[in-house]
Amino acid sequence: MRQLIAKIRTKNLVEEVYLSEHVQCQICQIAVPMCIEIVTVRKEGDSKKVVKHERYCRAHGAEYSVRANS
């Protein structure tokens, strides 16, 4: 399951912030039941290109969850 929380726009990129389950954090390498997943997308014409894909536990992804809620 993946639920879109927010889209954060910066210049020509869009960071899509998702709430995901059963993913391994990139920093602490621990598999967690709920995590923050960030997909950085660049729009090229009608299509989208994934630039970066990051997965964090809630402790390490707190910055994105705060930015998404504001």
Is this prediction's pTM over 0.75?
Answer: yes
Q: What's the domain range around 30?
A: 2-57
Bridge partners of 56, per DSSP, are: 36
Q: What pLDDT, on the 0 to 100 scale, is given for residue 2?
A: 87
In a domain, 7, yes or no: yes
pLDDT band at 68 (very low <50, low <70, confident <90, very high): low
What token pair was written down for 11?
């210049």
Domains identified in the chain, total number: 1
* pLDDT above 80: residue 67: no
* Domain presence at residue 19: yes
CA geometry: angle 31, 68, 19, nearest 5 deg:
30
In a domain, 17, yes or no: yes
**Per-residue confidence (pLDDT) for residue 51, from 0 to 100:** 93
Is the pLDDT assigned to residue 56 strictly greater than 80?
yes
Residue 17, exposed/middle/buried by CB under 10 A (0-12, 13-18, 19+)? buried
Q: Is the pLDDT of residue 41 over 80?
A: yes
